[in-house]
């Protein structure tokens, strides 16, 4: 394998003002709770949050970074409504929330809500709980994204079990997230989807998603399991590492240590009026009709349920490498070391995949969409080439950038990439 290297350089940016939030009011504290901090600090500020329990908060039309000490020690609590809401960001604004956990909310609110945001929103390494029904309220998906065009959700998982998520009219990147649909409480009704998307462009990588169980009255009415991923009028890019599993059908207890699944298992992936492409996704149906006594149920529902939809597999590619977030005014310094007089092609991809470009290309099974091929570059007699790539001025930035070098001898472009690139991020 040839050795390649790329360095990313970013244009200089002003240092953001940093404030300390500490529920214990320790040395250097500026605020003891998050709502006051969020409303008081200037646009573009950073909040460093020390361990403690904090109140729910809303970020509206403001760039802000909220960086917790750890998701296990920084906890957001709410008696009703949503824990964290981000809304109405302009294209040039961005919000980053990292290492924050939640405790259970009660009432109709979701755990995390992102709505009406044109700017970039990133949640990274956050623990959120399932939404639950309480005093007659119907539970909502724990995580909701609506009418937002640049959302990144990374390492989102549940404190007990996994949360479920709903995305509508949005463009979202999911990376290393875990979702599970709620079990149905209405007899005979279908279980909830682990992730429901509608009118969206979504990319998923290394995600585990499972549907909820169908509802049962324990005697006569049994509902089917919910889909793992349910897509309506959407486009999906399923990068490597995804596992989609349907929920189990409604269950009838048959005695101590035994039960009978009475309804069909849900599909791992259900699409209606949608299109998707995937690389080595694991898609399984949920447990269907069978009797179980302390043993695993092996009968499954359908892996796929496609209505007016298409699902295409693409060849496996070398692992994509994460470069970082290239912001406005950024550029990429390319420094490649390969064989003398060898051609190299760089492919940059932007996540989420809603960058406005005329075409989407697929080179050598590299699953990054839309992909921007640059080159080919030709190494010199020493096997080196350097190039500064200025990002197009009309390109929507503040997006995760992935890249991959494809190197090969001769002057004919192959159909399959040979190796991926190692990166160093600098700013």
| pLDDT tens-digit profile, the chain (427 residues) | 233 333 333 333 334 699 999 999 999 999 999 999 999 999 999 999 999 999 999 999 999 999 999 888 998 887 677 889 999 999 878 899 999 987 655 555 678 999 999 888 989 999 887 655 544 445 678 899 999 988 889 899 876 566 889 999 998 889 899 999 988 989 999 999 999 999 998 888 889 999 999 999 877 889 999 999 999 999 898 877 899 999 999 988 877 668 888 999 999 999 999 999 887 889 999 999 988 887 778 888 999 999 999 998 865 443 333 344 444 445 555 565 666 666 555 555 555 555 443 333 333 333 333 445 555 566 677 767 676 655 554 444 333 344 444 444 443 333 333 333 333 222 2
- Residue 171 has a pLDDT of 87
Tell me the H-state helices in 64-169: none
Phi-psi region of 28 (alpha: psi -120 to 50; beta: other; left: phi over 0): left
Which helix (H) or strand (E) segment is 37 a member of? Answer: helix 34-40
Decide the pairing of beta strands 269-272 and 304-307: parallel
Cα 185 to the chain's mean position, in Å? 28
End-to-end CA separation in angstroms for the chain: 28
Cα 267 to Cα 212: distance, rounded to the nearest angstrom: 11
Which helix (H) or strand (E) segment is 202 a member of? Answer: strand 201-205
- Residue 233 has a pLDDT of 97
- Residue 403 has a pLDDT of 46
Cα 305 to the chain's mean position, in Å? 23
Cα 248 to the chain's mean position, in Å? 24
**12: nearest Cα among 331, 322, 323:** 331
- Residue 84 has a pLDDT of 92
**245: nearest Cα among 262, 221, 266:** 266
Cα distances (Å, whole numbers) of residue 108 to 81, 195, 257: 6, 18, 35
What pTM did the predictor assign? Answer: 0.77
- Residue 420 has a pLDDT of 32
SS3 content of the chain, % helix, strand, coil (to 5): 0, 45, 55
Q: CA Rg, the chain, in Å?
A: 24
- For 228-255, b/e burial (b = at least 16 CB within 10 A) is bbbbbbbbbbbbebbbbbbbbbbbbeee
Cα 286 to Cα 93: distance, rounded to the nearest angstrom: 41
Output phi, psi for 277, to 5 deg: -135, 150
Which helix (H) or strand (E) segment is 409 a member of? Answer: none
Cα 216 to Cα 317: distance, rounded to the nearest angstrom: 44
Q: How many residues are given for the chain?
A: 427
Cα distances (Å, whole numbers) of residue 196 to 88, 164, 182, 208: 22, 8, 12, 14
- Residue 322 has a pLDDT of 39
- Residue 98 has a pLDDT of 94
- Residue 337 has a pLDDT of 62
Contacts for 23 with CB less than 8 Å, ≥ 6 apart: 32, 33, 50, 51, 52, 53, 54
**364: nearest Cα among 334, 408, 399, 311:** 408
Cα 285 to Cα 279: distance, rounded to the nearest angstrom: 18
């Amino acid at each position: 394998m040839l050795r390649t290297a790329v360095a990313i350089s970013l244009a200089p940016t002003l240092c953001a003002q940093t404030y300390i939030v500490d529920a214990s009011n320790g040395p250097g504290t500026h605020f003891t709770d998050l709502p006051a901090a969020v409303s008081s600090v200037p646009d573009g500020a950073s909040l460093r949050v020390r361990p403690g329990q904090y109140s729910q908060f809303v970020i509206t039309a403001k760039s802000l970074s909220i960086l917790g000490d750890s998701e296990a020690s920084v906890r957001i609590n709410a008696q009703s409504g949503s824990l964290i809401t981000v809304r109405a960001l302009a294209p040039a604004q961005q919000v980053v929330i990292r290492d924050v956990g939640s405790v259970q909310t009660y009432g109709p609110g979701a755990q995390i809500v992102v709505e009406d945001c044109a700017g970039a929103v990133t949640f990274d390494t956050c623990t959120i709980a399932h939404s639950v029904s309480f005093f007659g309220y119907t539970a909502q998906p724990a995580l909701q994204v609506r009418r937002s065009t640049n959302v990144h959700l990374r390492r989102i998982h549940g404190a007990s079990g996994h949360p479920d998520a709903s995305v509508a009219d949005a463009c979202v990147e999911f990376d290393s997230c875990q979702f599970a649909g709620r079990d149905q409480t209405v007899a005979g009704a279908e279980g909830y989807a682990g992730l429901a998307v509608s009118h969206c462009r979504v990319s998923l990588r290394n995600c585990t998603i499972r549907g909820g169980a169908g509802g049962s009255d324990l005697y006569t009415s049994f509902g089917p399991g919910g889909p793992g991923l349910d897509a309506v009028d959407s486009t999906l890019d399923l990068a490597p590492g995804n596992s989609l599993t349907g929920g189990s059908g409604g269950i009838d207890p048959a005695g101590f240590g035994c039960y009978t699944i009475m309804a069909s298992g849900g599909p791992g992936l259900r699409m209606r009026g949608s299109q998707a492409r995937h690389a080595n996704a694991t898609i399984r149906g949920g447990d269907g009709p069978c009797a179980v006594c302390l043993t695993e149920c092996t009968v499954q529902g359908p892996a796929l349920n496609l209505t007016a939809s298409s699902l295409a597999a693409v060849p496996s590619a070398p692992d994509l490498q994460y470069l970082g977030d290239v912001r406005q005014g950024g550029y990429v310094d390319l420094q490649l070391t390969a064989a003398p007089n060898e051609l190299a092609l760089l492919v940059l991809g932007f996540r989420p995949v809603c960058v406005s470009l005329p075409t989407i290309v697929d080179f050598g099974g590299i699953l990054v969409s839309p992909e921007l091929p640059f080159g080919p570059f030709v190494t010199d007699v020493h096997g080196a080439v350097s190039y500064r790539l200025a990002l197009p001025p009309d390109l929507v930035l503040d997006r995760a950038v992935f890249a991959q070098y494809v190197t090969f001898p001769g002057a004919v472009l192959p159909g399959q990439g040979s190796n991926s690139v190692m990166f160093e991020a600098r700013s």
